[in-house]
Chain A
Amino acid sequence: MNRRPLLLLVCSSPLLGECLCRELAPLDCECRLVPEAADAASLTTDAALILVELLLAGEVGFQALRRLRSNYAGPLVLLSGSGRPSDEPWALAAGASQVLSYPLRHEALRALLPS
């Protein structure tokens, strides 16, 4: 039986999490909302994609990226609503594969998922 790819969303805001899950619904993934990066660390082996919120990840998103990247080789995306251009290079240095800003569009993530 084919399992749907697991998409971890590290975000401590239920309101934002719900909005994002609604946006990601067309991807046909199992979207799991995890409030803290520390909780996500134990689920990384099954994850096809991990999204980390910049400020709502239980800690600063860059720190969460480093923590997750240490034992996860898959696509790791930072979601940033700060509008600061420095987010992208710093996130890439911290281990992110990509940085996306709001509004998040599911099309932007489709290419990152395994076919």
Chain B
Amino acid sequence: MSTQDKVKINKLSTGVPGLDEIVGGGLPEFSFNIIAGAPGSGKTTLAHQFVFANATPERPALYFTVLGESAIKMLRYQQQYTFFDPAKLPGSIRFINLSQVVLEKDLGAVLEQITKEVEKANPAVVVVDSFRTMVRKPESDMDLQSFIQRLALFLASWQATTFLIGEYAEEELRDNPIFTVADGLFWLRQTAERNSIVRKLQIIKLRGQDSVPGLHTFRITDAGVQAFSRTFGLTARKRNPPTNRRLCFGIPELDKMLGGGVREGDSVLIAGSSGTGKSVLATQFIAEGISRGEPGIVAVFEERPEAYAERATSLGLDLETPQTDGKLTILYLRPLDLSVDETMHSILDAVQRIGAKRLVIDSLAGFEMALSPGFRADFRESLYRMIFALTGIGVTILSTVEVDESFTEFPFSTYSISFLTDDIIRLRYVSIDGQLRKIMVVIKMRGGNHAKDIREYEITEKGVVILGKRLTHYQGLISGIPVRVDRLGSAEGPPLDTGAEHKS
């Protein structure tokens, strides 16, 4: 059947930021859906958002409440959310209590009552909350199945998009007739991960369209439920084709080492131990971008934006003005219970808001610490998704990572994430002539050739400054304890302090 012969299924906005992307563009009109999950998982709030987003005076929403939370209290609490528009009550949204019918009569009477109200109101949306309490004591499974099927058939025929809300445990998923009948099944989970609460949403099934598989984190704030797609809302966007454009650091010698700068859309890792100047390099990278008209984002986790900007000022870099001008956003993300998806959402918002071309994540260790403990286990995988998504839209990412300095090995990262990066710049301390000096080397550049030189550098009031030419008088520099060699190649043993004169 050709595309034009197929029936078009309208998609309704869920009213939940991020959820439309997850369900494949919106909820299919006239679908019969179930929101399941434990108490407190956000089922009612999600349904309310859908109702408020879709109810109109012409096609209102009927919200049937059954046993459980009283309607008065529900309205009392739900009106605290910003999506709650009292002007929609009671003209566009009607709350109808069915508890009396449920308590005194059977499922047939409940169906009859719902039918009567639906025929009277001609609603676009019907919610039954909590559906579970209504079918707690079915006479038999067949009765329940029959009831559900009749209800689903009736509501679909009356062109209503339906949500049934129920408290279900995951083990009840199997062989449940309700779930078989449903077109869409939304499962909300709330789990404690050490001291943090992690909320996750899964679309277990959704007929008629592709939804994004997997568990998506969500948060409940004053604005209601906000979902964070695992694909960060970027699935529909085409990946930018790779370019050969180079992005400079503004440090001439380093840019030369990089063959003119890092390639646009690359993921760059700057690895080094504490005090080696990772953040300084990152700041120079951002500042240089701004001076070239490339807006930037700095995601900081270990210090506040004001302190970050002040430190830049001490290097002669102005990060205050570009913030005022909308060319730079410094994001401080440290609530300690974030998911990567939420962090990504904040970053993406900022990227889209200012059209950022450069992003600094300072640092990966701080990023990991800002996450809820439950998400730390998935840090590497999450980082992969984040980097893939952002570089795909042309953002160049520079991440800093602290590595333990060792004099027996030369690690690039404690996260085993070097495969996620296109370019790696390694900074380290070396003991030369009785001084602890700093060297840098470009380890890898996926997009092209780069200098193999090991260069000494200093952090001055102008930032990172590379000294002289490559260090040719030492062997074993990357070990941190080099051996001085003469021009004929004979080793002299560990150098003595000779007054810190730089040899090139």
Does A pair with B? no
